[in-house]
Structure 1
Amino acid sequence: MECFYASNLDSSTRSLVLEGDESRHLRVLRCTVGDRILLSNGSGIRGVGIITAVERDRTHVVIERIEHFPAELPFILSVAIGLLAAQERMEWLLEKCTELGVHRIQPLCLEYSEIERLRRPERLQAKMIAALKQSQRSVLPILDQPKTLEEVLADADGAVVVCDPRGTAPEPPQGNCLIVVGAEGGFSPREEQMLEGVHCQRWSLGGFRLRSETAAIAAVSIVASAWQS
């Protein structure tokens, strides 16, 4: 079944109307009356619906059943990463984090960061919604506004994992996990001291030098696959 984003879906919904981009996407996929589709509200609820009518920019759907948090990780997996200067690399990171089960993505304003804010946030959100539909997830990750490393570490709840070529082999933690990846220039000496202060785990991800977004996805994959196995 194809999956569509319906933020207004909740436990009591019996029918709804898809409009705008979602209705147009449905027509592109040649879905028609009588077809079953998946609906995700991005907040943990996924439903199975049956198309009852297709209009120019509106599609009517009757809800057949509701599911709560299907196949989601049973703990909070977050990624904090230095802001990426290249927009396409940031978009790729958000897509893959969404597909792999991440709950929260926290851009970091680091001392070696080349930029200080998110660019085209509406496009970033659209990329995440597309990835949610592709992966048929029920949860859309939260994309936070950029913060400093100090702010993020102060709010950390659970294990803190730092991607570091000088680290040791990964040992996935049990429970909530925050994966921290530096800017393209790494962490400053002051930021390294902050990380030491929270007794973080430092993971080596192999013998090659990885881009920031590659390291983040490699670490996320290790944590997610450890739970699934």
Structure 2
Amino acid sequence: MHLFFTPTVEAHHSQFILNEEESKHAIRVLRLTTGDTLCLVDGRGGWYTAEILDPHPKRTTLHISSVQQNYQKSPYFLHIAVAPTKSIDRLEWFIEKACEIGIQEITPIICEHSERKEVKVDRMIKVAVAAMKQSLKAYIPQINPPVSFSQFLKIERPLDITPYIAHCIEEEKFYLNDSAKPGGKYLIMIGPEGDFSKREIQQCVEAGYTPITLGNSRLRTETAAITSCLEISLINR
């Protein structure tokens, strides 16, 4: 199955023209030609089956034969706010795997103990698009620009979302799978390699966040983030 990310395609379109990059990939790389079938996704849940009418390497024209909206829509909403890792490869690994498992929103947060202060959002989006296509999904998560921890806490969150903070300090915490309910909306904060500071944890608790543990092992940032994704996915299976 050949899958193309085309965010400008709409459900009412009967024909669609691939941009030059996608046209070149379809015709020059994949060697597709007139009559061949391919699939388009818009990143918003639309899955389009199309047939090549004109295999032009710069502007391939397609006939859209069928459309599925809300394709494999997740029964839950998950937003992970995660401190960027010192090695950007590990953050990108998290984004890739989270997209494969299922996630709707990602926000990089800069904390007191963060070693990395900057990330390239465009690069993160490219990783997410590639993961969406590889895992045959029709949704791409919203990836927000990085914000400071204090700024993030000031952002008004939806009333129906349940907020959690995962940290390593020894105090009363809950297991995520004992607290989160199926079909819910969840916000989970994951700290940097040096963990959240005590002040940050206290600010979260005062803001209504539930402290959680992900087990007895001390996990790397990206491992904790992907473990959270997996637990939420299993709760909703």
The alignment's TM-score, normalised by the length of structure 1, stands at 0.90
Moved more, 106-115 or 27-36: 27-36
Q: Is the 8 A contact 2:40 2:48 kept in 1?
A: yes
Compare 153-162 and 36-45 and name the one that shifted more: 153-162
Shift of 1:189: 1.7
In 2 relative to 1, CA 123–21 (structure 1 residues): closer, same or farther, beyond 3 Å? Answer: farther
2:108 counterpart of 1:100: no
Aligned to 2:219: 210
Structure 2 alignment gaps of length 5 or more: none
Cα distance, 1:5 vs structure 2: 0.4
SS at match of 2:167: strand
Distance 1:24 1:213 in 2: 35
Instruction: Give, in angstroms, the shift of residue 207 of structure 1.
Output: 2.7
- For 1:122 and 1:55, how far apart are their aligned partners in 2? 28
Give the total of aligned pairs. Answer: 227
Residues 35 and 51, structure 2, Cα contact 8 Å, conserved in 1? yes
Q: Which sits farther off after the overlay, 20-29 or 82-91? A: 20-29
User: Structure 2 matches for 1:131-142, cutoff 5 A?
Assistant: 131-142=131-142
2:174 alignment counterpart:
168
Note the alpha carbon deviations across 1:116-164, whole angstroms, 9 max, x for none: 2213x33222111111111222221111111123333342331112223
Write out per-residue CA displacement over residues 10-67 of structure 1, whole angstroms, 9 at most, x where no aligned residue. Answer: 1111111112332233243343332222211112222111122212233221111111
1:223 pairs, out of 228, 232, 235, with 232
Q: What is the SS of the residue equivalent to 2:60?
A: strand
| TM-superposed deviation, 1:114 | 1.4
Q: Given residue 89 of structure 2, which amino acid in structure 1 is its aligned partner?
A: E
User: Letter of the aligned partner of 2:55 in structure 1?
Assistant: V
Q: Structure 1 pair 224/153, CA: closer, same or farther in 2 (3 Å)?
A: farther
The aligned amino acid for 2:228 is A
Secondary structure, in 3 states, of the residue corresponding to 1:207? coil
Q: What is the TM-score normalised by the length of structure 2?
A: 0.87
Mapped contact 1:163–1:219 kept (Cα < 8 A):
no
Q: Which residue of 1 aligns with 2:53?
A: 52
What code does the residue aligned with 1:8 have?
A: T
Q: What SS does structure 2 have at the residue aligned with 1:105?
A: strand
Residue in structure 2 matched with residue 200 of structure 1 by the alignment = 209
**What does residue 86 of structure 1 align with?**
87
Identical-pair percentage: 28
Counterpart residue identity of residue 25, structure 2: H
**Counterpart secondary structure, 2:147:** coil
| Aligned equivalents of 2:201, 2:68: Cα separation in 1 | 43
Q: Is the 8 A contact 1:163 1:216 kept in 2?
A: no
Question: Judging changes above 3 Å, is the alpha-carbon distance between structure 1 residues 99 and 18 closer, same or farther for their aligned structure 2 residues?
Answer: same
Secondary structure of 1:162's aligned partner: strand
Kindly provide the amino acid, as one letter, of the partner of residue 52 in structure 2: I
**Structure 1 gap segments, 5+ residues each:** none
Choose which of 173, 191, 194 in structure 1 pairs with 2:200: 191
Inter-partner Cα distance in structure 2 for 1:149 and 1:156: 14
SS in 1 for 2:222: helix
Q: Take 1:32 and 1:126, find their aligned partners in 2: how far apart are those partners?
A: 27
| Distance of 1:114 and 1:164 partners within structure 2 | 17
Whichever residue aligns with residue 52 of structure 1, its letter is L
